[in-house]
Structure 1
Amino acid sequence: MKGVIFALAGGFFLTFQSVANATISNQIGTWQAAAMTQLTGFVLAVLIVLALRDRSYRDLGQVPKLYASGGALAAIVLFSNITAVHLMGVTLTIGIFLIAQLVAAIIIDKFGWFDMMKKNISRTQIIGVALMILGVVVLKI
């Protein structure tokens, strides 16, 4: 249940962040808005680590470089999201982002990429993604 609550919160906050970033980018530019978002997220994360007195940051050198580059991917995600919101609006952007995330997740599960355990992909999962695509097509009409 705790995972569901965090997933719901993440989804809601991603949508709010998309709108805020698109608005900010109108004033200062898309890459600048992405940089500001990354910076404020970094500051908040550091403050939370300090407040929790979590010292596991000492092990950062042990994190493989591929995984340590996740922040760079986040910059691309932010830029893509901001640009898509300007071009298509929030609803279509989030719908298409969700489909892309599901397709990527299915591929990662299927092949066990990024040290994830391989999982069989069922026909119902494929049908679910197809229905989401149909839903986005309906939203577009």
Structure 2
Amino acid sequence: MIVGMVLAAMAGAAISLQTVFNNKVNEKTGSWMTTTLALGMGFLFAFIPVVILEPQTLVQLVQMETWYWFGGVIGVGVVFSLVQAMKRLGPTFTISVVLVAQLGTALLWDSTGWLGLEQIPLSPMKVLGILLILAGVLLFSYKKETKTTGIRREE
């Protein structure tokens, strides 16, 4: 369990870092080129070890159900949406909203058992946990305008 938690924490940190890098690329090239670069580089850096270390998995890839391949299509939407959100919300708020959406969606998938996942019962405590995180994100993002200057400030 500890290894899983460390890996999940590393992935979370990497997503935040990737979002910052993608934002910098987006400033120079645009959202579609950023998406192409991010996923293209990811493809190359993942495909080379597959060919060298696990070439037998290429055969397994063509034998699996076609709809499994749509994870890549979803990845395009993820990167494109993150780049667009980052421009509008900044890195911290973007990742906060992503976190709440991930947790809510994961809870939905777990509790329904869709797509062959093991069904995990929905509990009020799980829903409350997500609502508390959402409340924290909303508090974090709260800005109040001052009456004298009209300048927004964080509280």
SS at match of 1:108: helix
Number of paired residues? Answer: 141
Runs of 4+ aligned residues of structure 1 deviating over 2 Å after TM superposition are 50-54
> What corresponds to 2:109 in structure 1?
108
Residue number in structure 2 paired with 1:140: 141
Bigger radius of gyration, 1 or 2? 2
SS at match of 2:118: coil
Q: Deviations over 1:4-34 (max 9, x none)?
A: 1210111010000000001101101101100
> 1 CA distance for matches of 2:26 and 2:16?
15
Name the structure with the higher helix share: 1
Superimposed CA distance per residue, residues 54-112 of structure 1 (whole angstroms, 9 cap, x where no aligned partner): 42121112222221110110000001101111100111100100111111111111111
CA distance in 2, matches of 1:93, 1:129: 17
- Unaligned 5+ segments in structure 2 are 143-155
AA of the residue aligned to 1:67: Y
- In the alignment, structure 1 segments of 5+ residues that lack a partner are none
Q: State percent identity of aligned pairs.
A: 28
Look up the equivalent residue of 1:3 and give its one-letter code: G
Q: Counterpart in 2 of 1:6?
A: 7
TM-score normalised by the chain length of structure 1: 0.95
Q: Is the 8 A contact 2:50 2:57 kept in 1?
A: no
Structure 2 Cα separation of the partners of residues 57 and 7 of structure 1:
26
